[in-house]
Amino acid sequence: MVQPILQVKNLEVEFVTDDGIVRAVNDISFDLYPGETLGIVGESGSGKSVANLTILGLIPQPPGHVKGGEVLFAEQDLLKLSQRQFRTIRGKRIAMIFQDPMTALNPFLTIQDQLIEVSMLHLGHTRAAAIQHAVELLELVGIPAAASRITEYPHQFSGGMRQRVMIAMALSCEPDILIADEPTTALDVTIQAQILDLLKAMQDKRGMAIIFITHDLGVVASICDRVLVMYGGRKVEQTDTKTLFAAARHPYTLGLLHSAPRWDQPQLTRLQSIEGQPPDMMNLPAGCAFAPRCQWKTDECLAAVPELVSIGSEFSEGSHVFACIHADQIQQAGSTSREELPHA
Amino acid sequence: MPNSENTILSVNNLKVHFPSKRKFGQPKRWIRAVDGIDFDVQEGETLGLVGESGCGKSTTARAILNLIHRAKVEGTIHLNGTRIDNLSDRAMIPHRLTAQMVFQDPFASLNPRMMVGNIIREPMGNYKLFGDETGRRLEVIRLLELVGINPQYMNRYPHEFSGGQRQRIGIARALAVQPKLIVCDEAVSALDVSIQAQVINLLMDLQQKLGVSYVFIAHDLAVVRHIAHRVGVMYLGKIVELADSKELYDSPQHPYTTALLSAAPVPDPTVDVRANRITLTGEVPSPDIEYVGCSFAARCPQVLGHCASTMPQLSTTDHQVSCLLYEDDNIDKSDPPKSNSAEVVV
Ligand SMILES: Nc1ncnc2c1ncn2[C@@H]1O[C@H](COP(=O)(O)OP(=O)(O)O)[C@@H](O)[C@H]1O
Ligand SMILES: Nc1ncnc2c1ncn2[C@@H]1O[C@H](COP(=O)(O)OP(=O)(O)O)[C@@H](O)[C@H]1O
Ligand SMILES: [Mg+2]
Ligand SMILES: [Mg+2]
């Protein structure tokens, strides 16, 4: 059996602010396997970034506070590491890329200085070898004239190019895990497609595991092997990508699937939106956080947070986990509405 | 362009060139943000405009409403039959009743120190609509209900609402003057998918009820297909293809449209989009270059020898396309390109 490369167990993170306590991540657990891409989807504010920043010890404390849980990697709990110990892992064995490349790039250093610093530090390259390595990486991520442009500053690159530079930097140490937090959300589809292809190619070559945070179901469908759905700081559903799209069992997931228009099919007259608003993370309800927006809710849903239930997945060997007491009804509703969809 | 009675907006050969910051010792250059576009919008119709960032969508939006300053603007814009591109800001005022705009970032466009009721009432007061204050108050309530915001919240401030709610408030404000046309510039782009669907449904319902027209600008190809009746694809300040929505998405003609669509993911894991992907090399070039031929030639997978030196014209058929491949003169379509780079005149 393949062992997970990363195990997140019962992670709880909160922010103590003047207005109250934000319960950003509530009891999140998942395993990540070598060579796979795990998608994380959810509304903005549902805790996707906080959960992943916590894995890398990047939560500002205070106001952040890791209340509980474990993050097991290479036989140690990352939550117990000092910032110094973290430096041997972050950027070397686990790397992260963000939506805004300028959060990772230093505007006052040339691309070369930023790229070689990492590999000299972590891979023990000489300066000359590090430059060589950096140019190769830039070429790999599709920067034209990499050898001459490497001495430029970040602001001399376009947004799409900066994104690729950041990816080159993240890949420069050949990490075991890449955490990608909406890395293509701000990019045009043509550049997004290039970057997704690149990540896939790097993954095939190096067996790197990827956590891909996105709100774009198209991106999920095209690159993720498995998907974890978050709502109100909790995991509400997790399964392989095929099962998720074909047999969702949580009403938020189903609503999300129905909300997304497609460019490759004739338009329906109306999108089936999820009515209402996402929950206030400072005042999460006692019961299911999705209940106020849910057409299937019953009194039971309001009383207590539904437990995660696990069954075998329909389309793969893996399992299907969901937190909804009306899951069967929802899966039924999903399959009926699919039959009603007009096809081209 | 024929100006039929139902034409709300008619744009003819619109050009917007911004002066670029001059680098020392270099001649003055012009950023050709919009470089000769034509389209019209009928009553109750939604025209979508798509294209990669920098292709000139927002500039087009601002030009439609005569909001461009410090630029060279050419061509004509007729709003509801009246030419407006040559009007002063003052002379534009009555025409602001005809056309309104909704922006991507509702927060930036709503005054944070004003209660939302007043935000919506302000334009009504400016134009002395709906009789007196009582009439305007009733209209604010009606509009808030129309866009799905509880009118009891009209004394709250913008920051007390979520992104989706603020976008509804922005739409209510645009509707306050009962416009015939609303230009939506990335109006749903920043919203979560579930909330985005609510706002799209709202815009479509309003069109049904009020007969309002939209110019709907977005980079999300799926959203545009869903909402628009006709769609124009822009590349470097030009419309390269314009057709009925279904027609454009089901049988795109311009090589750029084909490439753009092939890169757009589909929320369905059983569809292998990657298999049909046409990868474009390079990025959209800088818009401060004037081309003698097709500006897409340098990146075009189907480029011909003539493309870099012959300017294609947008055809006048129902499915309009601007590409030599579809011009049926004596062009040798097997003619290979001499070099894969466009000739330019500076
Ligand atoms: N530094 C912080 N201080 C206070 N609250 C925060 C901070 N960072 C994140 N949060 C809150 O934590 C919740 C989860 O945020 P985040 O993980 O960024 O969401 P997303 O799913 O959009 O990535 C949100 O309610 C957010 O406002
Ligand atoms: N006020 C301005 N001054 C100079 N250049 C501008 C100005 N506004 C837009 N541009 C340029 O015009 C081009 C088109 O921009 P824009 O209309 O914003 O494109 P889009 O909305 O499609 O992303 C871009 O190259 C942009 O940098
Ligand atoms: Mg986030
Ligand atoms: Mg724009």
- Give the 3-state DSSP-derived string for chain B, with helices as H, strands as E and coil as C: CCCCCCEEEEEEEEEEEEECCCCCCCCCCEEEEEEEEEEEEECCCEEEEECCCCCCHHHHHHHHCCCCCCCEEEEEEEECCEECCCCCHHHHHHHHHCEEEECCCHHHHCCCCCCHHHHHHHHHHHCCCCCCHHHHHHHHHHHHHHCCCCHHHHHCCHHHCCHHHHHHHHHHHHHCCCCCEEEEECCCCCCCHHHHHHHHHHHHHHHHHHCCEEEEECCCHHHHHHHCCEEEEEECCEEEEEEEHHHHHHCCCCHHHHHHHHHCCCCCCCCCHHHHCCCCCCCCCCCCCEECCCCCHHHCCCCCCCCCCCCCCCCCCCCEECCHHHCCCCCCCCCCCCCCCCCEEC
| % of chain A with per-residue pLDDT over 90 | 58
Kindly report which listed range (A145-154, A311-320, B241-250, B286-295) carries the lowest average pLDDT score.
A311-320
On whether any CB of chain B is under 8 Å from the CB of A47, the answer is no
Give the pLDDT score at B344: 42
Which has the higher per-residue pLDDT, A172 or A32? A32
Give the pLDDT score at B106: 66
Asked if B267's CB is within 8 angstroms of A260's CB, the reply is yes
Best of A271, A314, A338, A343 to disrupt the B interface (most B CBs within 10 Å) is A271
Nearest to A221 among B197, B261, B269 (CB): B269
Q: How many Å apart are CA A214 and CA A217, to the nearest integer? A: 8
Asked if A216's CB is within 8 angstroms of B196's CB, the reply is no
Kind and range of the H or E run holding A236:
strand A234-240
Q: B184 and B166, same structural domain?
A: no
Q: Judge contact between B258 and B249, C-beta under 8 A.
A: no
Q: How many domains does chain B have?
A: 2
Kind and range of the H or E run holding A108:
none
Which residue, B151, B174, B197, sits at the end of a domain?
B174
Q: How many Å apart are CA B234 and CA B230, to the nearest integer? A: 13
Asked if A267's CB is within 8 angstroms of B201's CB, the reply is no
Q: What is the pLDDT of residues A161-179, one digit of tens each?
A: 888 889 888 888 889 999 9
Which has the higher per-residue pLDDT, A43 or B320? B320
Ligand 1 atom at shortest distance from the alpha carbon of A63: 3
Which residue's alpha carbon is at the smallest distance from atom 13 of ligand 2?
B33
Predicted confidence band of residue B335 (pLDDT cuts 50, 70, 90): low
Q: Judge contact between B109 and B174, C-beta under 8 A.
A: no
Q: Judge contact between B155 and B169, C-beta under 8 A.
A: no
A 200-259 near B (Cβ less than 8 A): 215-222, 241-242, 245, 255-259
Between A and B, how many CB-CB pairs are < 8 A? 131
Q: How many Å apart are CA A228 and CA B104, to the nearest integer? A: 29
Q: B205 and B83, same structural domain?
A: yes
State the distance from the centre of ligand 1 to the C-alpha of B115, rounded, in angstroms. 27
Q: Judge contact between B268 and B345, C-beta under 8 A.
A: no
Which residue's alpha carbon is at the smallest distance from atom 1 of ligand 2?
B18
pLDDT exceeds 70 at position A339: no
Q: Judge contact between A218 and A249, C-beta under 8 A.
A: no
- Is the CB of A42 within 6 Å of ligand 1? yes
Retrieve residue A59's tokens: 């939560």
Give the pLDDT score at B277: 85
Contacts of A344 in chain B (CB under 8 A): 250
Phi–psi pair at B324, nearest 5 degrees: -60, -25
Mean pLDDT, residues A278-292? 92
Q: Which ligand is closest in space to the CA of residue A48?
A: 1
Choice from A18, A19, A49, A234 to test ligand 1 binding pocket (greatest atom count within 8 A of CB) = A49
State the distance from the centre of ligand 2 to the C-alpha of B234, rounded, in angstroms. 13
Q: What is the pLDDT of residues A69-84, one digit of tens each?
A: 999 998 899 999 998 8
- Is the CB of B33 within 6 Å of ligand 2? yes
The answer as to whether B25 is a domain residue is yes
Asked if A245's CB is within 8 angstroms of B268's CB, the reply is yes
Q: B22 and B148, same structural domain?
A: no
Q: B265 and B152, same structural domain?
A: no
- Is the CB of A158 within 6 Å of ligand 1? no
Mean pLDDT, residues A17-33? 94
ipTM score above 0.90: no
Judged on CB neighbours under 10 Å (0-12, 13-18, 19+), A128 is exposed
Which residue's alpha carbon is at the smallest distance from atom 6 of ligand 1?
A15
- Is the CB of B57 within 6 Å of ligand 2? yes
Q: B187 and B92, same structural domain?
A: yes
Give the pLDDT score at A119: 80
For chain B, what is the mean pLDDT?
88
Q: B273 and B186, same structural domain?
A: yes
The answer as to whether B325 is a domain residue is no
The closest alpha carbon to A200, from A225, A182, A218, belongs to: A225
Retrieve residue A97's tokens: 């890329």
Which residue, B250, B278, B306, sits at the end of a domain?
B278
The answer as to whether B310 is a domain residue is no
Cα–Cα–Cα angle for B159, B53, B263, rounded to 5 degrees: 110
Q: How many Å apart are CA A105 and CA A97, to the nearest integer? A: 10
Give the pLDDT score at B4: 67
Collapsing DSSP states into helix, strand and coil, what is residue A22? strand
Nearest CA in chain B to A220: B267
Asked if A241's CB is within 8 angstroms of B273's CB, the reply is no
| % of chain A with per-residue pLDDT over 70 | 97
Retrieve residue B11's tokens: 């744009």
Q: Judge contact between B183 and B100, C-beta under 8 A.
A: yes
The answer as to whether B232 is a domain residue is yes
For the four alpha carbons of B298, B302, B306 and B310, in that order, the dihedral sign comes to: negative
Residue count (chain B): 346
Q: Judge contact between A211 and A40, C-beta under 8 A.
A: yes
The closest alpha carbon to A25, from A230, A244, A326, belongs to: A230
Q: What is the pLDDT of residues A177-226, one digit of tens each?
A: 999 999 888 778 888 888 888 889 889 988 999 999 998 899 999 999 99
pLDDT exceeds 90 at position A257: yes
Alpha carbon of A126: minimum distance to chain B alpha carbons (Å)? 32
State the distance from the centre of ligand 2 to the C-alpha of B58, rounded, in angstroms. 7
Q: Judge contact between A203 and A35, C-beta under 8 A.
A: yes
Tell me which residue range forms the domain holding B273: 7-98+179-278
Alpha carbon of A40: minimum distance to chain B alpha carbons (Å)? 14
Q: B252 and B170, same structural domain?
A: no
* CATH number of the domain to which B187 belongs: 3.40.50.300
Q: How many Å apart are CA A257 and CA A245, to the nearest integer? A: 7
Residue whose structure tokens are 């490439």 = B259
- Is the CB of A48 within 6 Å of ligand 1? yes
Q: B59 and B188, same structural domain?
A: yes
Q: How many Å apart are CA B226 and CA B206, to the nearest integer? A: 15
The answer as to whether B71 is a domain residue is yes
The answer as to whether B220 is a domain residue is yes
The answer as to whether B323 is a domain residue is no
Alpha carbon of B81: minimum distance to chain A alpha carbons (Å)? 31
On whether any CB of chain B is under 8 Å from the CB of A335, the answer is no
- Is the CB of A41 within 6 Å of ligand 1? no
The answer as to whether B73 is a domain residue is yes
Q: How many Å apart are CA B307 and CA A100, to the nearest integer? A: 37
Which residue's alpha carbon is at the smallest distance from atom 8 of ligand 2?
B59
| % of chain B with per-residue pLDDT over 90 | 66
State the distance from the centre of ligand 4 to the C-alpha of A321, rounded, in angstroms. 40
State the distance from the centre of ligand 1 to the C-alpha of A72, rounded, in angstroms. 23
Residue count (chain A): 344
Q: B28 and B66, same structural domain?
A: yes
Q: How many Å apart are CA A61 and CA B168, to the nearest integer? A: 36
Retrieve residue B31's tokens: 């950023």
Asked if A242's CB is within 8 angstroms of B269's CB, the reply is yes
Q: B233 and B86, same structural domain?
A: yes
pLDDT exceeds 70 at position B2: no
Alpha carbon of A310: minimum distance to chain B alpha carbons (Å)? 22
Alpha carbon of A214: minimum distance to chain B alpha carbons (Å)? 11
Which residue, B278, B309, B338, sits at the end of a domain?
B278
Q: B185 and B146, same structural domain?
A: no
Alpha carbon of A304: minimum distance to chain B alpha carbons (Å)? 25
For residue A120, give Cα distances in angstroms to A66, A81, A171, B48, B270. Answer: 32, 23, 14, 50, 43
Collapsing DSSP states into helix, strand and coil, what is residue A114? helix
Q: What is the pLDDT of residues B217-239, one digit of tens each?
A: 998 999 999 999 999 999 999 99
Q: B84 and B113, same structural domain?
A: no
Q: Judge contact between B59 and B34, C-beta under 8 A.
A: yes
- Is the CB of A47 within 6 Å of ligand 1? yes
